Amino acid sequence: MSSRPPLNIPERVGDPAEVDYSSADSDDFDALSRDLVDVRSLQESDLAALIKIDAKAMGRKREAYYKRRLYEAMHQSGVRVSLVAEMEGWPVGFIMARVDFGEFGATQPEAVIDTLGVDADYRGQGIGQALMSQLLANLATLRVDRVRTQLGWNEFGLMAYLEDAGFMPAQRVVLEKQISRAFPCNLESKPCLRI
Protein backbone atom coordinates (compact mmCIF):
# COMPACT_ATOMS: atom_id res chain seq x y z
CA MET A 1 0.00 0.00 0.00
CA SER A 2 1.46 3.35 -1.03
CA SER A 3 1.85 6.07 1.54
CA ARG A 4 0.33 9.48 1.04
CA PRO A 5 2.44 12.60 1.29
CA PRO A 6 1.87 14.46 4.56
CA LEU A 7 -0.67 17.28 4.55
CA ASN A 8 0.91 20.70 4.61
CA ILE A 9 -1.46 22.58 6.93
CA PRO A 10 -0.59 26.22 7.68
CA GLU A 11 -0.25 27.11 11.35
CA ARG A 12 -1.54 30.67 10.93
CA VAL A 13 -2.81 33.10 8.30
CA GLY A 14 0.06 34.26 6.12
CA ASP A 15 2.10 31.11 6.72
CA PRO A 16 4.04 30.15 3.54
CA ALA A 17 2.15 26.82 3.54
CA GLU A 18 -1.15 28.70 3.06
CA VAL A 19 -2.46 28.67 -0.50
CA ASP A 20 -3.35 32.16 -1.74
CA TYR A 21 -6.26 31.70 -4.13
CA SER A 22 -6.63 35.45 -4.64
CA SER A 23 -3.11 36.12 -5.80
CA ALA A 24 -3.04 39.04 -8.19
CA ASP A 25 -0.40 37.32 -10.32
CA SER A 26 -2.49 34.18 -10.72
CA ASP A 27 -2.82 32.86 -14.24
CA ASP A 28 -6.47 32.11 -13.51
CA PHE A 29 -8.81 34.84 -14.76
CA ASP A 30 -11.22 33.78 -12.04
CA ALA A 31 -8.76 34.71 -9.28
CA LEU A 32 -10.72 36.35 -6.54
CA SER A 33 -10.30 39.85 -7.90
CA ARG A 34 -13.90 40.43 -6.93
CA ASP A 35 -12.68 40.38 -3.32
CA LEU A 36 -10.72 43.55 -4.08
CA VAL A 37 -13.51 45.35 -5.96
CA ASP A 38 -17.09 45.70 -4.75
CA VAL A 39 -19.42 44.14 -7.33
CA ARG A 40 -23.19 44.31 -6.95
CA SER A 41 -26.36 43.92 -9.00
CA LEU A 42 -27.26 46.66 -11.45
CA GLN A 43 -29.89 49.14 -10.19
CA GLU A 44 -32.04 51.67 -12.02
CA SER A 45 -30.24 54.48 -10.17
CA ASP A 46 -27.01 53.49 -12.01
CA LEU A 47 -28.20 54.90 -15.36
CA ALA A 48 -26.34 58.23 -15.17
CA ALA A 49 -23.08 56.51 -14.20
CA LEU A 50 -23.36 53.99 -17.05
CA ILE A 51 -23.94 56.78 -19.57
CA LYS A 52 -20.98 58.74 -18.19
CA ILE A 53 -18.59 55.74 -18.27
CA ASP A 54 -19.63 54.89 -21.83
CA ALA A 55 -19.42 58.51 -23.02
CA LYS A 56 -15.79 58.73 -21.87
CA ALA A 57 -14.94 55.66 -23.96
CA MET A 58 -17.11 56.38 -27.00
CA GLY A 59 -16.73 60.15 -27.18
CA ARG A 60 -20.51 60.65 -27.28
CA LYS A 61 -23.50 60.09 -25.03
CA ARG A 62 -25.71 57.12 -25.87
CA GLU A 63 -28.51 57.95 -23.47
CA ALA A 64 -31.35 56.28 -25.40
CA TYR A 65 -29.32 53.08 -25.79
CA TYR A 66 -28.59 52.81 -22.07
CA LYS A 67 -32.14 53.71 -21.06
CA ARG A 68 -33.39 50.88 -23.27
CA ARG A 69 -30.71 48.44 -22.05
CA LEU A 70 -31.37 49.26 -18.39
CA TYR A 71 -35.13 48.88 -18.86
CA GLU A 72 -34.61 45.48 -20.49
CA ALA A 73 -32.21 44.37 -17.75
CA MET A 74 -34.56 45.46 -14.96
CA HIS A 75 -38.01 44.67 -16.36
CA GLN A 76 -37.83 42.24 -19.26
CA SER A 77 -35.35 39.72 -17.95
CA GLY A 78 -36.53 36.72 -15.97
CA VAL A 79 -33.13 36.48 -14.27
CA ARG A 80 -31.16 39.64 -13.50
CA VAL A 81 -27.46 39.08 -14.02
CA SER A 82 -26.16 42.56 -14.93
CA LEU A 83 -23.55 43.91 -12.52
CA VAL A 84 -21.86 47.13 -11.42
CA ALA A 85 -18.42 47.56 -9.85
CA GLU A 86 -17.97 50.29 -7.27
CA MET A 87 -15.00 52.07 -5.79
CA GLU A 88 -15.36 54.71 -3.11
CA GLY A 89 -19.14 54.24 -3.27
CA TRP A 90 -19.41 55.20 -6.95
CA PRO A 91 -19.95 52.98 -10.04
CA VAL A 92 -16.71 52.62 -12.01
CA GLY A 93 -17.60 49.69 -14.26
CA PHE A 94 -20.49 47.55 -15.45
CA ILE A 95 -21.34 44.42 -17.36
CA MET A 96 -24.82 44.01 -18.81
CA ALA A 97 -25.91 40.49 -19.66
CA ARG A 98 -29.05 38.40 -20.00
CA VAL A 99 -29.85 34.72 -19.76
CA ASP A 100 -31.56 33.06 -22.72
CA PHE A 101 -33.13 29.67 -22.30
CA GLY A 102 -32.83 28.66 -25.93
CA GLU A 103 -33.26 29.91 -29.45
CA PHE A 104 -34.19 28.40 -32.78
CA GLY A 105 -36.17 25.65 -31.04
CA ALA A 106 -33.35 24.42 -28.80
CA THR A 107 -33.51 24.68 -25.02
CA GLN A 108 -30.05 25.40 -23.73
CA PRO A 109 -29.38 27.99 -21.03
CA GLU A 110 -26.97 30.52 -22.44
CA ALA A 111 -26.00 34.00 -21.32
CA VAL A 112 -25.31 36.89 -23.65
CA ILE A 113 -23.10 39.82 -22.68
CA ASP A 114 -24.62 42.88 -24.32
CA THR A 115 -22.26 45.60 -23.20
CA LEU A 116 -19.56 46.33 -20.68
CA GLY A 117 -17.44 49.26 -19.66
CA VAL A 118 -14.87 50.45 -17.14
CA ASP A 119 -14.32 54.11 -16.32
CA ALA A 120 -11.14 55.22 -18.12
CA ASP A 121 -9.80 56.71 -14.86
CA TYR A 122 -9.99 53.29 -13.16
CA ARG A 123 -8.65 50.96 -15.84
CA GLY A 124 -5.84 48.58 -14.94
CA GLN A 125 -7.15 48.05 -11.40
CA GLY A 126 -8.87 44.69 -11.95
CA ILE A 127 -12.37 46.08 -12.31
CA GLY A 128 -13.15 44.33 -15.60
CA GLN A 129 -11.71 41.10 -14.22
CA ALA A 130 -13.81 41.39 -11.04
CA LEU A 131 -16.98 42.02 -13.06
CA MET A 132 -16.39 39.07 -15.40
CA SER A 133 -15.37 36.80 -12.53
CA GLN A 134 -18.53 37.60 -10.57
CA LEU A 135 -20.73 37.25 -13.67
CA LEU A 136 -19.25 33.82 -14.45
CA ALA A 137 -19.67 32.70 -10.83
CA ASN A 138 -23.31 33.84 -10.84
CA LEU A 139 -24.00 32.11 -14.16
CA ALA A 140 -22.42 28.87 -12.93
CA THR A 141 -24.73 28.98 -9.90
CA LEU A 142 -27.69 29.36 -12.28
CA ARG A 143 -26.40 26.34 -14.23
CA VAL A 144 -25.94 28.36 -17.39
CA ASP A 145 -23.83 26.29 -19.77
CA ARG A 146 -22.21 29.00 -21.87
CA VAL A 147 -21.85 32.73 -22.31
CA ARG A 148 -21.35 34.52 -25.58
CA THR A 149 -20.85 38.01 -26.90
CA GLN A 150 -19.78 39.67 -30.10
CA LEU A 151 -17.51 42.55 -30.94
CA GLY A 152 -16.15 44.49 -33.87
CA TRP A 153 -13.31 42.88 -35.79
CA ASN A 154 -10.93 45.69 -34.81
CA GLU A 155 -11.68 45.89 -31.07
CA PHE A 156 -8.33 44.38 -30.16
CA GLY A 157 -8.24 45.51 -26.53
CA LEU A 158 -11.66 44.03 -25.86
CA MET A 159 -10.71 40.88 -27.74
CA ALA A 160 -7.59 40.44 -25.55
CA TYR A 161 -9.68 40.98 -22.40
CA LEU A 162 -12.20 38.35 -23.50
CA GLU A 163 -9.44 35.93 -24.50
CA ASP A 164 -7.87 36.32 -21.03
CA ALA A 165 -11.32 35.49 -19.60
CA GLY A 166 -11.34 32.23 -21.58
CA PHE A 167 -13.54 33.24 -24.52
CA MET A 168 -12.78 31.68 -27.90
CA PRO A 169 -14.21 32.19 -31.39
CA ALA A 170 -17.59 30.48 -31.67
CA GLN A 171 -18.73 28.13 -34.39
CA ARG A 172 -21.19 30.74 -35.67
CA VAL A 173 -21.22 32.82 -38.77
CA VAL A 174 -22.80 36.25 -38.41
CA LEU A 175 -24.38 37.43 -41.64
CA GLU A 176 -25.31 41.01 -42.40
CA LYS A 177 -27.00 42.87 -45.24
CA GLN A 178 -27.45 46.57 -45.68
CA ILE A 179 -31.10 47.33 -46.41
CA SER A 180 -31.84 49.97 -49.00
CA ARG A 181 -34.22 52.68 -47.82
CA ALA A 182 -35.87 52.75 -51.23
CA PHE A 183 -38.54 50.12 -51.80
CA PRO A 184 -36.72 47.57 -54.00
CA CYS A 185 -39.61 46.79 -56.30
CA ASN A 186 -42.94 48.02 -57.47
CA LEU A 187 -45.77 46.09 -58.99
CA GLU A 188 -45.66 47.89 -62.36
CA SER A 189 -42.01 47.58 -63.39
CA LYS A 190 -40.43 44.91 -61.21
CA PRO A 191 -42.12 41.99 -59.50
CA CYS A 192 -41.72 41.77 -55.72
CA LEU A 193 -40.57 38.68 -53.96
CA ARG A 194 -43.57 37.10 -52.29
CA ILE A 195 -43.08 35.06 -49.16
Taking only the tens place, the pLDDT of each residue in 56-71 is 988 899 999 999 999 9
Q: Looking at the DSSP assignment, which residues form a beta bridge with residue 85?
A: 39, 93
Q: Is residue 148 part of a domain?
A: yes
**pLDDT of amino acid 117:** 94
According to the model, what pLDDT value does residue 177 have? 83
pLDDT at 104 over 90: no
Contact indicator for 82, 96 with CB cutoff of 8 Å: yes
Task: Give the model's confidence band at 17: pLDDT under 50 very low, under 70 low, under 90 confident, else very high.
Answer: low
* pLDDT at residue 121, as a whole number: 92
H helical segments located in the chain: 47-58, 63-75, 127-141, 156-164
Q: What CATH number has the domain bearing residue 122?
A: 3.40.630.30
Average pLDDT over all residues of the chain? 80
Confirm whether 93 is domain-assigned.
Answer: yes
According to DSSP, residue 59 is labeled S
Q: Does the pLDDT value for residue 76 go beyond 70?
A: yes
Structural domain contains residue 60:
yes
Q: Is 123 exposed, middle or buried (0-12, 13-18, 19+ CB in 10 A)?
A: middle
Residue 161 CA to residue 110 CA, distance in Å, equals: 20
Q: In the predicted model, what is the mean pLDDT of residues 26-41?
A: 68
Yes or no: say if 76 and 122 are a contact pair by the CB < 8 Å rule: no
Domain of 68 in residue numbering reads as 33-164
Write out pLDDT tens, residues 113-158.
999 999 999 998 899 999 999 999 989 888 888 899 988 889 999 9
Taken in order 152, 154, 157, 160, the sign of the CA dihedral is positive
- Say how many domains are in the chain: 1
User: What angle is formed at CA 76 by the lines to CA 30 and CA 92, rounded to 5 degrees?
Assistant: 40
User: Would the pLDDT of 10 be above 90?
Assistant: no
Higher-pLDDT residue of 125 and 35 is 125
* Residue at 187 is within a domain: no
Judge whether 136 lies within some domain.
yes
Task: List pLDDT tens digits, range 147-193.
Answer: 999 888 899 999 999 999 899 988 877 778 888 766 555 555 556 65
In a domain, 191, yes or no: no
pTM over 0.95: no
CA 92 – CA 49 distance, rounded (Å): 8
Phi/psi of residue 138, each to 5°?
-65, -45
Q: How confident is the model at residue 27 (pLDDT cuts 50, 70, 90)?
A: very low
Does 190 map to a domain?
no
What is the pLDDT, as a whole number, of residue 190?
58
Residue 127 in domain: yes
Could you give phi then psi for residue 140, rounded to 5 degrees?
-60, -40
